[in-house]
Amino acid sequence: MLPRLFAAALAATLAVPAAAQQWPTRALRIVTGTPVGGSPDFVSRLLAERLSERLGQAVFVENSATIGVAAWNTVAKSQPDGYLVSMLTGAFSARAAVAKALPYHPIKDFAFITLISGYPMVVATAPNSPVKSFPDLIARAKAAPFDVTYGMNLPGSVHHLTGELINVEAGTSLRGIPYRGNTQIVQDLLGGRLDVMIETGTIAFAQINGGMLRGLAVSSRKRFVLEPDIPTIAETLPGFEVMSWLGLAAPGGTPRPIIDRLNREVGEILKLPDIRDKLAIVGNVPMPSTPEQMQDHIERDAARWSRVVDIKGIEKY
């Protein structure tokens, strides 16, 4: 029996390409698919520094001219050799729900490595706003359908879909106003031209703590550990939960030993106190996972957003 087991193990080892067994022998690249300076860029650089130390090879972060779908497609169509990975965001699963078509399959064309961190969406308003709480917002929205507005990122974003999920669960008609950046949203909010905004915790928490905004609610299931004084949407709409996220993925077909090595190394990095402290600066908490858990998370995310798109008749593009 033992010789058979040994033979099977030897055969499995020999079946792994030699390149995968020797990996890495050169520099790695992390493609963010987002501009310089945002949370994905910051977290990518945190990981790159520590991964370089642990793997014995340089790890570079690329903020390419292409963002979103184009950047993810670049990774999906690249050689599955473990030298190019992508920093995915919650927008990845949202895009799968609102796209008429994608140049890649959001599951089959990627080898998921691990979730890295998570953060809630935040409903916030101006400090002097007459909207005093999230229940107050819902009451006002029900009393005046389509009159209460929220500033959001572009249509189809997690910001937009979170607002529409609130409408689905609360039976309201909050009206989303799209913007191309947080700065103008805040200006219009402070100027009384918007009622509330929906923003990522990575941006909103700093503005709330700086006194620029007042947090009404977070979208996490329980009060978010970094901002425990802000109520949850679920306290008003039981069961409501949206956690945006960051996670690493490689091209589909990347050898499993490489995926497992990266998963293990990132998991160890996320245990380091200084890394956890630096993640907290940008409103993130560690959220490591197995590759299978990451895939399941993305599939559930996309299914939830597809439901919202269908119910609200959101136009796909």
Residues 103 and 195 in one domain: no
Same domain for 133 and 194, yes or no, is yes
The 3-class secondary structure across the chain, one letter per residue, is CHHHHHHHHHHHHHHCCHHHHHCCCCCEEEECCCCCCCHHHHHHHHHHHHHHHHHCCCEEEECCCCCCHHHHHHHHCCCCCCCEEEEEECHHHHHHHHCCCCCCCCCCCEEEEEEEEEEEEEEEECCCCCCCCHHHHHHHHHHCCCCCEEEECCCCCHHHHHHHHHHHHHCCCCEEEECCCHHHHHHHHHCCCCCEEEEEHHHHHHHHHCCCCEEEEECCCCCCCCCCCCCEHHHCCCCCCCEEEEEEEEECCCCHHHHHHHHHHHHHHCCCHHHHHHHHHCCCEECCCCHHHHHHHHHHHHHHHHHHHHHHCCCCC
Low-confidence spans in the chain with pLDDT less than 50: 1-3, 5-15
Question: Is residue 7 in some structural domain?
Answer: no
- Give pLDDT, residue 12: 44
Integer Cα distance of 33 and 257 in angstroms? 25
Give the CATH number, domain containing residue 266.
3.40.190.150
- Cα dihedral 188, 191, 196, 198 sign: positive
The alpha carbon of residue 243 and the mean position of all alpha carbons in its chain are separated, in whole angstroms, by 8
| Domain C-terminal end among 179, 213, 235 | 235
Q: pLDDT for 1-56, tens place per residue?
A: 444 544 444 444 444 566 678 999 999 999 998 888 889 999 999 999 999 999 99
Q: By the 8 A CB rule, do 160 and 152 touch? A: yes
Asked if the structure places residue 268 within a domain, the reply is yes
Question: By residue range, what is the domain housing residue 198?
Answer: 120-235
Whether 221 and 146 share a structural domain: yes
Q: Are 92 and 248 in contact (CB under 8 A)?
A: no
Give pLDDT, residue 10. Answer: 45
What pLDDT is recorded for position 181?
86
Say which CATH number the domain at 163 has.
3.40.190.10
Please say which residue of 200, 235, 270 terminates a domain: 235
pLDDT of 4: 52
Q: Specify the number of domains making up the chain.
A: 2
Q: Is residue 104 part of a domain?
A: yes
Q: Which of 191, 216, 235 is the last residue of a domain?
A: 235
Same domain, 307 and 266: yes
pLDDT in tens, 164-184: 999 999 999 999 999 988 999
pLDDT reported for residue 17: 61
